[in-house]
Amino acid sequence: MKKTFRIQNLKCGGCENTILNALLGINGVQNIAVHTDENSIALTYKDEDVYENVRAKLSKIGYPVVGYKNTVLKKAASYVSCAIGKINT
């Protein structure tokens, strides 16, 4: 299955790096592309359970899918994730 969706709190290449590393660790995820200019992610995945794992992981690291709650804690997590992504580049 192929899906493109928008996420919240995506700011830069550090965010992109963190997201790529996090999603590559999910079994069944393939062909990930993060588009910072559009605040979106395109990916190929095996089934809807995999997509739910992707959505949950994104939320946990601070990048909830548009339409899901974006709390202050999620925003703070995205800044930490972004900084880690910049360090690991």
Q: Which 3 state secondary structure label does DSSP give 7? A: strand
* Burial grade of 52 (CB within 10 A; 0-12, 13-18, 19 or more): exposed
26: CB partners within 8 A, 6+ apart: 50, 53, 54, 57
CATH of residue 35: 3.30.70.100
Residue 54 · residue 23 · CB < 8 Å = yes
Query: How many domains does one find in the chain?
Result: 1
Expressed as residue numbers, the domain containing 57 is 2-87
Q: What is the pLDDT along the chain (89 residues), one digit of tens a residue?
A: 999 999 999 999 899 999 999 999 999 998 999 999 999 999 999 888 999 999 999 999 999 999 999 989 888 888 887 787 788 76
Q: Which residue from 88, 85, 87, 72 is spatially nearest to 16, judged by alpha carbons? A: 85
